Structure 1
Amino acid sequence: MVPQRVSLLTIGAYDLPVLRSFYQKLGWEETSISSDNYAVFKTAGVLLSLFPIEELAMDANIEITHSPNAFRGVTFAINVDEPGHVDSVTEEIRQAGGRVVREPSDAFWGGRTAYFADPENNIWEVAWNPSAVFDERGAMISF
């Protein structure tokens, strides 16, 4: 049986130093396994890694077919504890150099949400979900 878990998310970075700097400006802590060629950030649930896209594609034996500005069809999410946190977190992201692609607003499903792009156009959602449940580490365990 395949374990039902997500342990590590890796973003293929076109410019690792720029992308790393952005996440550092958000105040995210890197792990001790980070190096000059690889960055790993702690999150509440999974580790987020940044790895040069050419090396990632070679490791996976696939061809890179898109530009850094293309939408990759994947979003990441930062879920927060209160509706107002969507606004304050989005502003912090803007100050760190993130490009807000959808300003904070109330969602049709009863929450509050905003979207931003990091320097390589990876799309993130900042969301408050009124039914979200977090564990003691801050990892979302249900919604």
Structure 2
Amino acid sequence: MSYPRQRITLVTLGVDDLKRAKAFYKGLGWVPAEEVDGMACFQLHGQALMLFGRAELAKDQGREGAVLGTGAVTLCQNFDSREDVDTAYAEALAAGAQPLKAPEAVFWGGYSGYFTDPDGHVWELAHNPFWPLSEDGSLTLPEAP
């Protein structure tokens, strides 16, 4: 079977404390799907998020002893409304997120805010009125002209 090349099936985040990281994501209301040998997986819509100890992740990447940071990456969840963004932001802070920027109107015409999880991974919560979500919450970008 041939699959589309433009897809992500798994996002792995290196964490310092698996128990703490798992508790944070559970605090967001996420349900763990599997936990095996120092890794915890959460089933997402059409993909999965894995939490993996940083040292073990470096070793798995063939970079044993490397100090892994969070990199210049932002993970994002889009929502149907500004109110939904505000609610999700408040829930993230209640679960232990560190605020970076409270949700506000932004230059591109939408509304967004940022926080970090306990391991410093940056999340954006956004409402983009130009990218409506389907009923199941999935995003399909408009076709290029």
Deviation of the 1:141 alpha carbon: 1.8
Distance 1:12 1:76, change over 3 A: same
> Is contact 2:16-2:119 (8 Å) kept?
yes
Query: Superposition RMSD on alpha carbons, in Å?
Result: 1.9
Match of 1:15 in 2: 17
The partner residue of 2:26 within 24, 27, 32 is 24
- Give the TM-score, by structure 2 length: 0.86
Aligned residues: 139
Query: Which is worse superposed, 116-125 or 128-137?
Result: 128-137
Q: Give the CA deviation at 1:36.
A: 5.7
**2:133 corresponds to 1:131:** no
Q: Does the aligned pair in 2 maintain the 1:45–1:140 contact within 8 Å?
A: no
In the alignment, the residues of structure 1 paired with residue 18 and residue 130 of structure 2 have an alpha-carbon distance, to the nearest angstrom, of 36
Give the whole-Å Cα distance in 1 for the aligned partners of 2:20 and 2:110.
32
Q: CA deviation at 1:66?
A: 4.7
**Any unmatched runs of 5+ in structure 1?**
none
Runs of 4+ with >6 A deviation: none
> What percent identity do the matched residue pairs reach?
35
Length-normalised TM-score, structure 1: 0.88
Q: Give the 3-state SS of the residue equivalent to 1:134 in structure 2.
A: coil
1:136 Cα deviation after fit = 4.6
